Amino acid sequence: MSRYRGPKLRISRRLGTLPGLTTKKSNKINRPGKDGNANADTGKKLTEYGVRLEEKQKLKFNYGLTESQLYRYVKEARRRKGVTGLILLQLLEMRLDTICFTLGFAKSIAEARQLVNHGHITINNKVVNIPSFQCRLNDVVGIKDKSTSKNLVEKNIKYNQVGEIPSHLKFDTSKLDATILDYCNRNDIPLQLDELLVIEYYSRR
């Protein structure tokens, strides 16, 4: 299954705010589709499967993953010791494109993926052009030593006006690089979802 490239506001209207997908907000209130908010009018509720599916879709669309990619992350999270839901989120947050988005290098994870693909981002002073690259502790995420790369990222940081950088990242504004100190905490992730329901969704496959 290919990566979603359709209307982003349609997805955010259906699933709620997805920071990694888009920062734009729709003027429409109703959910997309013929019936709009029919469920709210008739008092009908989503089935348990429907609830789990929507939580899974939030994760998939926010991080811009294909179905097979997300399933591989879930399997890896199950393999590791600890709370599976938190480990899954930490794996996704350690992707290079996600870290670039978190640092404000891009306004969305899709834009951060493009930055990485075009060779603007380095890991430990070496250019890495794989968005799904899994960063490790003490890695230094920086900008390629070219004026075009630095000007582009500086412009994006100024435009995006990111708030406080999460505690697991140490960002040096003068060098435009960040050191990964630790894995993220659940509170550092702005996405509103119940990751346990995502694990439950895949446990039934």
Q: What is the pLDDT along the chain (205 residues), one digit of tens a residue?
A: 456 666 666 666 677 777 766 665 655 655 655 555 544 444 567 788 888 999 999 899 889 899 999 999 999 999 999 999 999 999 999 999 999 999 999 988 999 999 999 999 999 999 999 999 999 999 999 999 999 999 999 998 888 766 788 999 999 988 889 999 999 998 888 888 899 999 999 987 6
- Structural domain count of the chain: 2
Same domain, 132 and 158: yes
Which residues contact residue 110 at a Cβ distance below 8 angstroms, ignoring those fewer than 6 apart?
Answer: 21, 64
Tokens describing residue 80: 């590791």
Q: Tell me, what DSSP letter sits at residue 123? A: E
Q: Does residue 1 lie in a domain region?
A: no
Same domain, 74 and 105: no
Same domain, 56 and 132: no
Q: Does residue 3 lie in a domain region?
A: no
Q: Tell me the CA distances in angstroms from 70 to 103, 127, 151, 203, one per residue in order.
A: 23, 25, 33, 13
Q: Does residue 24 lie in a domain region?
A: yes
Same domain, 82 and 12: yes
Same domain, 51 and 124: no
Looking up residue 141, the CATH number of its domain turns out to be 3.10.290.10
Q: Does residue 75 lie in a domain region?
A: yes
Same domain, 28 and 87: yes
Same domain, 136 and 83: no
Same domain, 105 and 175: yes
Q: How far apart are CA 197 and CA 1, in angstroms?
A: 22
Range of the domain at 142: 95-182
Same domain, 37 and 111: no
pTM over 0.95: no
Looking up residue 75, the CATH number of its domain turns out to be 1.10.1050.10
Tokens describing residue 82: 């600890």
Same domain, 85 and 123: no
Same domain, 99 and 176: yes
pLDDT at position 36: 52
Tokens describing residue 8: 């982003």
Same domain, 55 and 122: no
Q: Does residue 2 lie in a domain region?
A: no
